[in-house]
Amino acid sequence: MRTSIATVCLSGTLEDRLDAAAAAGFDGVEIFENDLIASSSSPESIRARTRDLGLSIDLYQPFRDAEGAPPDRFAAVERRMRAKLDLMARLGADTVLVCSSVAPDTIGDDALAAAQLRTLADLAAERGMRIAYEALAWGRHVSTWDHSWEIVRRAGHPALGLCLDSFHVLSRGSDFAGIRSVPGEKILFLQLADAPRLAMDVLQWSRHHRLFPLQGGLDLAAFTQAVLDAGYTGPLSLEVFNDVFRQADPHRTAVDARRSLIALASGLNGGADGALTPAPALDGIAFTELGVDPSSAPEMETLLRALGFAHTGQHRSKAVQLWEQGAARILLNAGAPSPAEGSAAIRAFALESTQPEQSARRAEQLLARPLPRRRRQSEADLTAVAAPDGTEVFFVRTSPAGWHDDFLPTGETAAGAGITGIDHLSLAQPFDRYDEAALFYRTVLGMADDEAGEFAAPFGLVRTLAIRDPGRRVRIALSVPVLRRGEWAPAIPHPQHLTLATSDLAVTAAALRAAGVETAPIPGNYYDDLDARLALPLALRGKLHSLGAMYDEDERGQYLQLFTPVVGGRVFIEIVERVNGYRGYGFANDPVRMAAHRAQRLRKEVRD
């Protein structure tokens, strides 16, 4: 299937946008009128550029306030249409999108609308062009796809058909099953956009919050399938108005956009249009790699020892230490180049894949950035790709012989402090990368959303999304500031963190205390509120308070959390005990934890 993208999805000059669309592998573009008007290039040179880039111009849009115009205004509409059709001839475009009228003086009369569109279609037909009529969800009189179809049907003109836009249909909750019975040749264009489910004015929702397919909460797969079932054969075209994408690097956005279409297409027509290698089952996080520098390395080593870890292995060729306890494996990498812009101290993690090569193949099909292999003779062949924030993601099998053999045993064994494994990773995302990251984890790794939240942290609103594999063996919590941080917020980035599972938080807490590690100081106000909300048994209250732990519960069980200090300003470790199958992440506690870490840092600054 051909793929296309509207220039309005991307940032920069029109040339920047065209270059990015071509580089990401799109076949065509929709030229958004404002982008052309603002461009200093002539239509002829835009045409030449798209041709040189191998792009077709699949649509020129939008043409506004055409149908239902009062008769005395319609002559001006015709004049404007002639001008735009002439412009399209210069561009080499043959289809123009007419969106349903919003002007207050629009007349709500289907017969008039059909007659006027017929007149405009005559003008298009004279030039061998076509008009695709789209119902905007907020159109003055025409706001549903079936109403637009009724008018197109009435007009009965061969150069007039429909443009279907998933957002306008799905945002209104319209029934779209009937699309299957529209003759395929009358659907001239298909625009795809997803969006988060928000209860807000539909125009604002559309103009600011659209997302690429599979990034939001609308059922793009079912909608697109219905349009294909009708016999539509044109391109799958993305039309996304999004405040963040409008100011992000267009090359990255275009790749993100293509990834969304590749993933969407793999689920259409039973996979006939672009089968993807299925995501192999994941079996846990094999290891997490922390980048350390000369000042944070000893601090992190002391902390790991306090937590009962032992330095069990030393890499054969690199300045990388392996620390282990139970199934928790942490690499401290002192020799790596500083991680990519925006990524933090968790520089890599390895996923235990039942079929690492297949995981890597799928990642490549979904345009994940491959990383050079870190291989030397006799070392395990690790396949890795970069997540959107630069974090390296490895696909490994730990047994029978794998990455673990690259480490020479030191002979040390872990003293143990209850740690059983890695519970989850919390990866703070750069502001521009959040939706891209969610799509990456969903599609490349075949993970599913687990829990989403939004809370007021001390320095601004933070949005979180936990993603997990179907077997709940790999959990990743993404977070991002809702707005780009202002000048008042501390300059240090939001820290990443690694969450370890313990079989008994009291044992781990005692080990930390014995080693002189002060956990993040949880305020008394927090415990008073816990008591007011949950009326916990006295013994549990006492325990939480004495451990300095935080608490959450769901319908299944309980969650006890403890936080180490932030090391090097970039990363901390959380220790959690899940009791009776609690499934959440304690997100509601995050603001208090953030404030506690800040209080701890300020106190330390005063002491130092």
Q: Which residues are annotated as a binding site?
A: 134, 165, 191, 239, 424, 497, 574
Q: Which of 339, 394, 387, 395 is nearest to 366 (CA)?
A: 387
Tokens linked to 20: 């990015």
Please give the residues from 199 up to 258 whose contact with Mg ion meets the rule CB under 5 A: 239
Cβ proximity to ligand DHB, 260 vs 600, nearer residue: 260
Q: What is the DSSP string of 347-411?
A: EEEEEEESSHHHHHHHHHHTT-EE------TTS---EEEE-TTS-EEEEE--SSSSGGGGEEE-S
Nearest distance in Å: CB 165, ligand DHB: 5
Bond from prior residue into 409 cis (ω within 30 degrees of 0): no
Q: How far is the CB of 263 from ligand DHB (least distance, A)?
A: 22
* C-alpha gyration radius of the chain: 28
| Minimum CB distance to Mg ion smaller for 67 or for 165 | 165
Judged on CB neighbours under 10 Å (0-12, 13-18, 19+), 378 is exposed
From ligand DHB, Mg ion, none, interface partner of 62 (C-beta below 5 to 8 A by class): ligand DHB
Can you tell me the distance from the alpha carbon of 225 to that of 223, in angstroms, rounded to the nearest whole number? 5
What are residue 532's phi and psi, to 5 degrees? -65, -40
Which parts are annotated binding residues for Mg(2+)?
424, 497, 574
Q: Which is nearer to Mg ion, 246 or 318 (CB)?
A: 246
Contacts of range 313-317, beta carbons closer than 8 Å, 24 or more positions apart: 313/404, 313/407, 313/408, 313/409, 313/410, 314/407, 314/408, 314/410, 315/406, 315/407, 315/408, 316/376, 316/378, 316/379, 316/406, 316/407, 316/408, 317/376, 317/379, 317/406
CB of 6: closest distance to Mg ion in angstroms? 8
Burial degree of 166 (CB within 10 A; 0-12, 13-18, 19+):
buried
Nearer to ligand DHB, 126 or 201 (CB): 201
H helical segments located in 396-504: 434-443
Tell me the site size for Mg ion, rule CB under 5 A: 3
DSSP-derived pairing of the beta strands 496-502 and 475-481: unpaired
Does residue 30 interact with Mg ion by CB under 5 A? no
CB of 55 to Mg ion, least distance (A): 19
- Bind-site residues for a divalent metal cation: 134, 165, 191, 239
- In the complex with Mg ion, which residue's Cβ is closer, 203 or 319? 203
For the CB of residue 241, give the shortest distance to ligand DHB in the complex, in Å.
6
CB of 192 closer than 8 Å to CB of 232? no
Considering beta carbons, is residue 133 or 527 the nearer one to ligand DHB?
Answer: 133
Tell me how far, at minimum, the Cβ of 199 lies from ligand DHB, in Å: 19
Beta strands 496-502 and 550-553 are: unpaired
Which residues 151-210 are close enough to bind Mg ion by CB under 5 A? 165, 191
Q: Which residue is nearest to ligand DHB (CB)?
A: 62
CB-wise, 190 or 282, nearer to ligand DHB? 190
**Smallest separation, CB 102 to ligand DHB (Å):** 8
Nearer residue to Mg ion within complex by CB, 97 or 594: 97
Dihedral over alpha carbons 238, 243, 245, 248 (to 10 degrees): 160
CB of 435 to ligand DHB, least distance (A): 19
Is 4 a binding residue for Mg ion by CB under 5 A? The answer is no
Q: Give the nearest distance from C-beta 191 to Mg ion in angstroms.
A: 4
Q: Do 147 and 130 form a contact (C-beta atoms < 8 A)?
A: no
Q: Residue numbers of the site for ligand DHB (CB under 6 A)?
A: 61-62, 97, 99, 134, 136, 165, 191, 206-207, 239
Q: What does 429 interact with, of Mg ion, ligand DHB, none (CB < 5 to 8 A by kind)?
A: none
- Answer with the entry of ligand DHB, Mg ion, none that 206 interacts with (C-beta below 5 to 8 A by kind): ligand DHB
Query: Which does residue 14 touch among ligand DHB, Mg ion, none (CB within 5 to 8 A, set by kind)?
Result: none
CB 442 within 8 A of CB 449: yes
**Within 10 Å of residue 331's Cβ, how many Cβ atoms?**
24
- Please state at what angle helix 14-23 crosses helix 250-266, rounded to 10 degrees: 40
Nearer to ligand DHB, 61 or 215 (CB): 61
**Footprint of Mg ion on this chain (CB under 5 A)?**
165, 191, 239
